[in-house]
């Protein structure tokens, strides 16, 4: 996965800030969301991200899958992905 060219992500104390600079829209994310954003920046696939986070958060994989699907839908809806 990849962010759109105009999207810049920066770590903050509260998590991350995502700046879609073409439409000049700013999004904020807590530390859990920031983990997803970091994995996208690293170019991981959806499956790899789910696997990584399931291992890290030691949770039910299907709940994590749902959470991440929603998160991705939000990223897509806001034109943040390439």
Partner 1 sequence: MVIENDLRIMAKQYVPEGGSFADFEAPLFMAWQLNQECNIACLHCCEEAGHFMPDTLNSNEVANFCEQITTMKIPYVAISGGEPMLHKDFYKICEYFRKHNISLKVETNGLLITKEKAKWFGSLGFRSVQVSVDGATAEAHEKLRIKGKWQPTIDACKYLVEAGVTTEIVFVPTKFNIHETGQLIDMAHKMGIYGVYTGKTMRIGRAAENWDALCPTDAQYEEFFKVLKEKQASYEGRMKVYYYPYDVIEELKYRLEYPSASLLVIPNGKVKLIGPMPFLCGDLRKHTLAEIWERYKKSWKDPKVTAFAKKVIADPTMVAKANDWVELYN
Which are the contacts of 58, defined by CB distance < 8 A and separation ≥ 6?
none
Our CB check for partner 1 shows the closer of 12 and 45 to be: 12
68 neighbors 60 (Cβ within 8 angstroms): no
Q: Is 47 in the site for partner 1 (CB under 8 A)?
A: no
Q: Is 68 in the site for partner 1 (CB under 8 A)?
A: yes
CA 51 to centroid of chain Cα atoms? 14
Three-class SS state of 25: strand
Tokens matching residue 18: 């995502």
Q: Is 43 in the site for partner 1 (CB under 8 A)?
A: no
Site residues (CB under 8 A) for partner 1? 5-6, 8, 10, 12-15, 17-19, 21-22, 24-30, 32-33, 36, 53, 57, 59, 63-64, 67-68, 70-71, 74-75, 78
């Amino acid at each position: 996965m990849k962010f759109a060219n105009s999207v810049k992500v920066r770590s903050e104390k509260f998590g991350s800030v995502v700046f879609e600079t073409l439409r000049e829209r700013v999004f904020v994310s807590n530390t859990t969301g920031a983990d997803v954003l970091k994995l996208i920046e690293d170019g991981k696939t959806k499956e790899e991200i789910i696997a990584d986070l399931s291992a890290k958060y030691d949770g039910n994989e299907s709940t994590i899958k749902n959470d991440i699907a929603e998160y991705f839908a939000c990223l897509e809806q806001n034109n943040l992905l390439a």
